[in-house]
Structure 1
Amino acid sequence: MRPFVALIGGGLLSLLAGCPFVFGPADLSGVAHDIDGDGQYDLDGDCDDLNATVFAGATELCDGLLNDCDGGALPADEVDDDGDGFVE
């Protein structure tokens, strides 16, 4: 499903998979969001609030993502060596 995005009253309304989230002036006031339900909030270092396996301090998984949000490089063994779309 493609996201539907519209400006409403100075805020941004985004419908992702049928779930409404409002982004805009409330975000600037310091309201934290936990869209992916991982218990980590965007204002507290959740660098990907659409993926519950990615947040500050998360255990690194072999999934091709930097799960712990430390800004470093992926482990050298976490690559798709054979080009099949899966990290081995």
Structure 2
Amino acid sequence: ADRGYDAQAVIELVRSRGGCAHIPTQKDRKLQRSVDPAIYRQRNLVERFFCKLKHFRRIATRFDKLARNFLAAVLLASTRLWLRAYESTP
């Protein structure tokens, strides 16, 4: 699914904001970009975090109308997830 984001516009957007896109190229491209496997593997942590974050009903359905209230709910849910992970470590 990550190869679906291999559009030049997406890569340029990431680059314009000071980032480096680690998106694998589609197989039919003539010029293949190299992707660092270690960095690419870490994306799994981010994807799992967002999946856990969507388990909070308030965030998944976006109850809050104001962006600041939604951000506050995301921060509270993120803190709760972090505390749950922090407590379970020995």
TM bin (shorter chain): under 0.3
Higher helix share: 2
Higher strand share: 1
Q: For CA contacts below 8 A with separation 6 or more, give which structure has more relative contact order.
A: 2
TM-score using structure 2 length: 0.23
